[in-house]
Amino acid sequence: MLCENCNKKPATVHLTKILNEKKAEHHLCEQCATQQEGVYFDTSYSINNFLTGLLDSIQDSPIKIDYIQTTKCDKCGMNYGKFKQLARLGCSQCYNAFQEKLGPLVKRIQGNEIHVGKIPRKAGGAILTKKEIKSLKVRLDEAIRKEDFEHAVLLRDEIRELESKLGD
């Protein structure tokens, strides 16, 4: 259906007016509709508002006012209120600072929470090393519990070596 006013654009606004018990229907495009007397609707739609609008509707952790004002990223100074307004994070540290709220939001936007795909060699290497250290520490605890000190010393050296590699 085309807009009855300009006859050019598709009619996307369907208006029912009841005046003095007389009903009239109008089918207009958005542009013509905004020019109609007595019609107000918000056209200031933006993707930013939309994304961060989701924050308020996330059910599992209701927003407290002091969260908005006091939760702040130490690194770049971005606070939660500003993030909501800009829909952009200020630095990689913000992901930690707003973790509580971002987790569910990421899930909503992306439908996923875990990265699959390319891992950078450098940063990725450190991640793998950290994982290895973690599992070695578990084995070390086990060795100590079993009083297998010979093995424990070997594990301890291995952990130290990996940790010094991480520190480089």
Partner 1 sequence: MTAMTKWINEVGPQNDIIISSRIRLARNIRDYPFPIALIKSKSKEIIKEVSDSVISGCEILKNEFLLQEMEFLNPLDRQVLMEKHLISPNLISNADKAAVMMNGDESISIMINEEDHIRIQCLLPGLQLDEAWSMADKVDDLLEERISYAFDEQLGYLTSCLTNVGTGIRASVMVHLPALTMTGYINRILQAANQIGLAVRGIYGEGTEFAGNVFQISNQLTLGRSELDIIGNLKDVSRQIIQKERDARATLIENSKLQLEDKVCRSYGILANARILTSQEAMKLLSDVRLGIDMGIINGIKCKNLNQIMIMTQPAFLQKLANKALSTNERDTRRASLVREKLGSE
Among 33-41, 58-66, 98-106, 139-147, the segment contacting partner 1 (CB under 8 A): 98-106
Among 27-35, 36-44, 105-113, 153-161, the segment contacting partner 1 (CB under 8 A): 105-113
Paired tokens of 104: 């569910």
Using the rule CB under 8 A, which residue among 51, 58, 63, 136 binds partner 1?
A: 51
**Residue 89 binds partner 1, judged by CB under 8 A:** yes
Residue 9 beta carbon to partner 1: minimum distance, rounded to whole angstroms? 11
Residue 88 beta carbon to partner 1: minimum distance, rounded to whole angstroms? 5
**Residue 86 binds partner 1, judged by CB under 8 A:** yes
Helices of type H across 24-148 = 30-35, 47-57, 65-70, 80-86, 94-97, 99-110, 121-145
Terminal Cα distance for the chain, rounded: 67
User: Using an 8 Å Cβ cutoff, are 10 and 29 in contact?
Assistant: yes
78 burial (CB, 10 Å; 0-12 / 13-18 / 19+) is: buried
Q: Which residues bind partner 1 (CB under 8 A)?
A: 47, 51, 75-78, 86-92, 95, 102, 105-106, 109-124, 127
